[in-house]
Amino acid sequence: MCKHKLTDDLEIHFIELPKWHKGDVEKMNRLEHWLAYLSPKTTNEERRRLAMKDPAIQKVMEAEKVFQADPDCITAYEQHEKYLRDMAAMKEYDEDVGWERGHAAGLAEGEAKGRTSGLMEERARLVLKCYRESMSAAAIAKLFDLEEAEVQEIIRQYADATDKT
């Protein structure tokens, strides 16, 4: 059992029932009765002794018997448990699929940017080739359906870069 003090007014105690060691039922306090009742280590005989000692536990055991005797209750419980498992599986699947979809979208976006970048570089290479063949910026702009200012910018940027290499 671990104990965490949150404020001067509130404490929360966490109890791991499988690790909880029960003692003699006769020496237990009310909280320990409930811990023993809920513990998976407690036998049916020990639970019956707890019920004789604590009327609230006896009421719970009677309610359990009524619940277990009603097939509709059992079916509803099993359906709810299946629903919870399905929701957990669906969430895990959605997280996996969401990651895969996001990854695929990222790859597609990267490819599109790469293609665009490649096309721009190829266009710049062709503009420079035409310029080096003594075509005017106006003629190059008309040929590639660009603004003359764009052609001049390409020539300025790429010519400087290729001159340096």
Q: Does the residue 132 lie in any domain?
A: no
pLDDT(162) > 60: no
Ranges 64-73, 78-87, 96-105, 123-132: which has the least confidence = 96-105
Q: Does the residue 63 lie in any domain?
A: yes
Position 9 scores a pLDDT of 83
Range of the domain at 40: 1-69
Q: Does the residue 2 lie in any domain?
A: yes
Cβ 41 vs Cβ 18: under 8 Å = yes
- How many distinct structural domains can be found in the chain? 1
pLDDT, mean over the chain: 85
Q: Pick the more confident residue, 129 or 95.
A: 129
Predicted model pTM: 0.45
The fraction of the chain above a pLDDT of 90, given in percent, is 21
Q: Does the residue 57 lie in any domain?
A: yes
